[in-house]
Amino acid sequence: MFRFATPQKVFEFDGIKIGGQPGDNPPLLIASMFHNKDRILRDRKGDFDREKAVDLIRKQEELSRATGIPAMVAMVANSPDEARIYIDFYTETTDMPFGIDMWVPKKRAKATEYVAEIGAQDKFLYNSITAWDKDIRGQVETLKNLGIKHVIIQAFDDEDQSPKGRLKSLKSILEQGADAFDTVIVDTSVMNLPSTSFSLLANKMIKEELGYPCGAAYSNGTHMWQEAKDAWGQEGFRAMDAVAQGMSTALWSDFNLYGPIVTAPRIFPAVATAHVLLSTLVYDETGQIPDNPDLPLRKYFPDFIEKLEAGGGRKAKAKK
């Protein structure tokens, strides 16, 4: 269940390893800032509460160090000029990598040009090459000419919204040259909470067949379910959000666009907990725990690991 016969691709993005067999590397957590209704945002001309924004970034850095889970921020902008303001602020504030979240292709292209202009390609994750793009080959060529190295592919098929449809969509995009980057990770397109399962199954299918790192914006499924707040209140919503994103972590996810950065204090513990459980599930299947020192299991339960290793592990016992 947690080991694939297909060799798994592992990409290195700004010192972060993404991908591999389940449990080998902690998932990359990608926060959102400057989205609609973000309380630090005053207007769409680049006016925001800088002090609060710095505090939020520092908190994510702290949680990342404590858990071993790598992190970055995707900044939402409506125009290239707005994006430039956020990029300048962010790169002056932190060493974490970053992305830009802009749905309109032409505006996203202009913002990406600015990333190249300031020479930040090594720290930039392009989001994204999608199934809805009209000229994928042209987009790939433009990105390559700008020196963009790391990209997300968003896989989805309007006509076949099953897990197989996402795999088919990915293959089509790759055939149009989207594999020509140093890092290629796959967003399997969460549309709502129950369909998150289709994205997770698509993760498994893609890793089984092609070996690419997979994940999704699991916050799409939780934050779009507004009725949860009416049914359960704010605390109930927070619990639902943490459970859904933690469970997704344990099921074939190499990264997670987890939503507003203000939710980091609940998402990092949820994801760390899920990864601890994943590590022991992998151990039961393989008799081994990966050597990666950043695994949450190694950070929080070293005594437990020592006892497992002292016992010889399942494989060692089998040999005897």
pLDDT tens, 230-243?
999 999 999 999 99
Q: Give the position of tokens 């190499």.
A: 254
| pLDDT for 16 beyond 70 | yes
Residue 308 makes CB contacts below 8 A (sequence gap 6+) with: 283, 289
Q: Beta strands 214-216 and 16-19: pairing type?
A: unpaired
Q: Would you give the end-to-end CA distance of the chain in angstroms? A: 25
Supply the mean pLDDT for the chain. Answer: 95
Report the pLDDT value the prediction gives residue 170, as an integer from 0 to 100.
Answer: 98
Q: What's the rounded mean pLDDT across residues 249-267?
A: 97
Eight-class DSSP state of 163 = H
Nearest-CA neighbor of 46 among 100, 92, 83?
Answer: 83
Decide if pLDDT at 316 tops 80.
Answer: no
As a whole number, mean pLDDT of residues 111-116 equals 98
Question: Is residue 204's pLDDT more than 80?
Answer: yes
Quick check: 315 pLDDT over 70? Answer: no
Length of the chain: 320
Residues 6+ apart with CB under 8 A from 7: 211
Residue 312 is predicted with a pLDDT of 61
Nearest C-alpha neighbor of 245 from the set 271, 220, 223: 271
Q: How far apart are CA 227 and CA 289, in angstroms?
A: 40
Identify the band that residue 180 occupies on the pLDDT scale cut at 50, 70 and 90.
Answer: very high
Q: What is the Cα–Cα distance from 132 to 268, expressed in whole angstroms?
A: 32
Q: pTM (2 decimals)? A: 0.95
CA distance 134 to 129: 10
Q: Percentage of the chain with pLDDT > 90?
A: 92
pLDDT at 101: 92
High-pLDDT (> 70) share of the chain, %: 97
Give the Cα separation of 171 and 212 in Å (integer). Answer: 11
Strands 10-13 and 16-19 turn out to be antiparallel
What mean pLDDT do residues 101-119 have?
A: 94
Across the beta sheet with 214-216, what order do the strands follow?
98-101, 71-76, 28-33, 255-260, 214-216, 183-187, 150-154, 125-130
User: Is the model's pLDDT at 311 over the cut of 90?
Assistant: no
Residue 64 has, within 13 A of its CA and on its CB side, a CA count of: 21
Segment 282-289 long-range contacts (CB within 8 Å, at least 24 positions apart): 282/2, 282/3, 282/21, 282/22, 282/23, 283/308, 283/313, 283/314, 284/314, 285/1, 285/2, 285/3, 286/2, 286/3, 286/314, 286/315, 287/313, 287/314, 287/315, 287/316, 287/317, 287/318, 288/313, 288/315
Read off the pLDDT of each residue in 75-91 and give the average, rounded to a whole number.
97
By three-state DSSP, how is residue 74 classified? strand
- CATH number belonging to the domain at 10-319, selected among 3.10.20.90, 1.10.10.10, 3.20.20.20, 1.10.150.120: 3.20.20.20
**How many C-beta atoms lie closer than 10 Å to residue 171's C-beta?**
13
Q: Could you tell me the pLDDT band of residue 313, with boundaries at 50, 70 and 90?
A: low
Residue 320 has pLDDT above 70, yes or no: no
pLDDT digits (tens, 9 = 90+) for 128-151: 999 999 999 999 999 999 999 999
Instruction: Tell me: pLDDT of 271 over 90.
Output: yes
* 317 band by pLDDT with thresholds 50, 70 and 90: very low
